[in-house]
Amino acid sequence: MLRDKIRAEPFGTYLTDSNVVSAYYEEKQLTDLYGRSHMGLCGICIYLAVSLFAFHFREQSLTGILPSDLMHKLGAVPPVFMAVGLMWVSTVSALTVISGRLYHRTPPSGTTSHVAFRIGFFVLFFVVGGLGRYVNEIFISGLVVLTLQHYNVYNYYMRKIEKKLIIRNDLHQETL
C-alpha cells in the first residue's frame, strides 16, 4: 500500500506527515474511482443472471399460474403489443440518454436504474404472457443498453483516474 511505502521513506526526505496523509487519501480516492468504474460490469452480471432465470421460465405466464377467479378480480391483462412498444421506446430512450452522456462527458446515470428497468421488462412480459415469444428481444435490448452503460461508466471514471494521476505526477515533479 502507498501509505506503508511512504512511511518507509528515510527521515529528512521531501515527505512530511501532511504529505503522507494527502498521499493516503489520494490513493483511497483512486481506489474508489477504480471500483466505480466497474459498476457497469456488475450490472451486466446481475442482468445475465436474471436473464437465465427468465429464460428458464419463459413458457410461464401470470395467467397460467394464478387461478381464473383471481385473474378475473385483477382485470384484463394488457395486450402484448403495448409491452413491445414500451420496451422499444424505453430502449431507444436509454440509448439516447447514455449516448448523450458519452458525447458531453457528463457523469453517467446510475447503473441500478438501467438494470431495474431491463429486469422489469421480463416481469412485464411475464404478466402479459409474451415472455416465451419475446425473451430474445428483451435479452438483446437489455444487453445493448447495459453494455453501452458499462462503456459510459468505465470511460468516465477512467478519465477521472487519469486526470488525478497526471495531477499527482505533476505535483511530484515539482517537489523534486
Confidence category of residue 84, pLDDT binned at 50, 70, 90: very high
Cβ contact 96:138 at 8 Å = no
Q: Among 58-62, 133-137, 170-174, whose mean pLDDT is lowest?
A: 170-174
Query: So where are the chain's domains?
Result: 18-175
Give residue for cell 457528463.
Answer: 106
The CA distance from 38 to 49, in Å, is: 17
Is residue 89 predicted with pLDDT exceeding 70? Answer: yes
The CA distance from 113 to 151, in Å, is: 16
pLDDT at 23: 66
The CA distance from 43 to 143, in Å, is: 10
pLDDT at 148: 95
Amino acid at 158: M
For the question of whether the overall pTM of this predicted structure is more than 0.85, the answer is: no
Is residue 1 predicted with pLDDT exceeding 80? Answer: no
Cβ contact 101:152 at 8 Å = yes
